[in-house]
Amino acid sequence: MARGFRYGGVAAASLVLAIALAFPASAKTKMSYEQAFTKCKGEIAANVPMTDSNTSAARHSAGAACMKKYGYRLKKGAM
């Protein structure tokens, strides 16, 4: 009988740990639009080359995808 309680306690502790790891405290605060825009602009500058004028569409698409990742839509005239 004592063995059953011990395994139940281990299962409950592992469930609490799994929930704590799945939802970290830092994920609860949403980044502001300006912070997300600055972060995405840096990522795009590092990943999408700016050598040709044809890449503006690629940069815009990548920027919009990055902003969507942080929960925002790209404003017109940005990037």
User: Does the model's pTM come out above 0.75?
Assistant: no
pLDDT at residue 44 in the model: 87
Ranges of each domain in the chain: 2-69
Give the tens place of pLDDT for each residue, 22-76.
555 555 578 899 999 999 999 888 887 776 666 778 888 888 999 999 999 877 7
Cα distance between residue 36 and residue 17, in whole Å: 30
pLDDT at residue 16 in the model: 53
Radius of gyration of the CA atoms of the chain, in A? 22
20 or 50: which leads in pLDDT: 50
